[in-house]
C-alpha cells in the first residue's frame, strides 16, 4: 500500500545508511560475547559480603547439631551437609535406620551445595555447610525453635531465585 515515491525514498535511505547498518550488525555478536564473558566471570568471582560485614556471635554448626536437626525431621524432610565426620556420628549414635535410607543427614561435597550457596544471578556466594529441607510447617517450627535455643544463625530460602542476594 506504500506509494512508490516513498518506497524509492526508503530504498535511497537504506542505501545511504546501509554501510553503517552493516557495521552496527557486526558489532552485535561482539557485544553479546562480552555479556556472556561477563556473566561467566561473575559466576567465578561470585561476590561475598563477608568482607564488608562482621559475623554475629552465632554458634558454628557441628556434626552433633546436624544429628539433632535430623531428629527433628519427622515428615520426611531432608538435610544435606558438607561437614566432615557427620555421617559416622549420626550412624553410630542416633539414626542408623533413617541414614541407611539415604535421606536425612546426607553427606555431600562443598560443590554440591553451590546450588544453595550461589544466588540465581551467580553474583553472590554464601558459605553454608548445612542445608535443611523441611516438608511441613511442624518441621520448620521445630527447626527454628532448636536454632533459637542453640543460637544458630539461619537463612530462609525458597527457590533461591531472588535477584538481590538475600537468599544466602
**34-53: contacts with other proteins (CB under 8 A):** 48-50, 53
Instruction: Rule CB under 8 A: say whether 161 interacts with other proteins.
Output: yes
Instruction: Rule CB under 8 A: say whether 127 interacts with other proteins.
Output: yes
C-alpha cell at 15: 542505501
Query: Phi first, then psi: what are they for 124, rounded to 5°?
Result: -125, 155
> CA–CA distance from 64 to each of 54, 59, 94 (Å)?
25, 12, 10
Query: Phi first, then psi: what are they for 57, rounded to 5°?
Result: -85, 65
Q: Is 71 exposed, middle or buried (0-12, 13-18, 19+ CB in 10 A)?
A: middle
DSSP 164: S
Closest C-alpha to 129, from 114, 119, 142: 114
Binding piece for other proteins, criterion CB under 8 A, among 2-10, 84-92, 104-112, 124-132: 124-132
Residue 23 or residue 52: which is nearer to other proteins going by CB? 52
Say which residues have a Cβ less than 8 Å from residue 112's Cβ, sequence separation at least 6: 80, 82
Instruction: Rule CB under 8 A: say whether 144 interacts with other proteins.
Output: yes
Instruction: Rule CB under 8 A: say whether 106 interacts with other proteins.
Output: no
- Distance (Å, whole) CA 104 – CA 27: 52
Residue 107 or residue 125: which is nearer to other proteins going by CB? 125
Instruction: Rule CB under 8 A: say whether 105 interacts with other proteins.
Output: no
Residue 86 or residue 128: which is nearer to other proteins going by CB? 128
Residue 27 or residue 127: which is nearer to other proteins going by CB? 127
Instruction: Rule CB under 8 A: say whether 120 interacts with other proteins.
Output: yes
Would you tell me which residues interact with other proteins (CB under 8 A)?
Answer: 48-50, 53, 55, 58, 60-61, 69, 77-78, 116-117, 120, 124-137, 140, 143-144, 147, 152-164, 168
Amino acid at each position: 500500500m506504500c506509494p512508490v515515491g516513498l518506497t524509492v525514498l526508503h530504498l535511497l535511505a537504506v542505501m545511504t545508511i546501509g554501510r553503517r547498518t552493516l557495521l552496527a550488525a557486526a558489532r552485535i555478536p561482539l557485544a553479546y560475547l562480552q555479556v556472556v564473558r561477563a556473566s561467566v566471570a561473575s559466576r567465578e568471582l561470585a561476590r561475598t559480603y563477608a568482607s564488608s560485614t562482621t559475623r554475629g556471635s552465632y554458634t558454628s554448626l557441628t556434626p552433633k547439631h546436624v544429628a539433632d536437626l535430623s531428629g527433628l525431621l519427622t515428615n520426611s524432610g531432608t538435610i544435606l551437609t558438607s561437614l566432615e565426620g557427620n555421617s559416622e556420628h549420626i550412624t553410630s549414635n542416633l539414626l542408623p535406620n533413617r541414614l541407611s535410607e539415604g535421606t536425612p543427614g546426607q553427606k555431600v561435597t562443598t560443590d554440591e551445595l553451590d546450588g544453595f550457596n550461589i544466588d540465581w544471578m551467580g553474583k553472590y556466594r554464601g558459605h553454608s555447610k548445612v542445608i535443611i529441607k523441611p516438608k511441613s510447617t511442624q518441621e520448620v517450627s521445630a527447626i527454628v525453635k532448636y536454632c533459637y535455643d542453640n543460637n544458630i544463625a539461619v537463612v530462609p530460602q525458597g527457590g533461591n531465585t531472588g535477584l538481590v542476594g538475600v537468599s544466602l
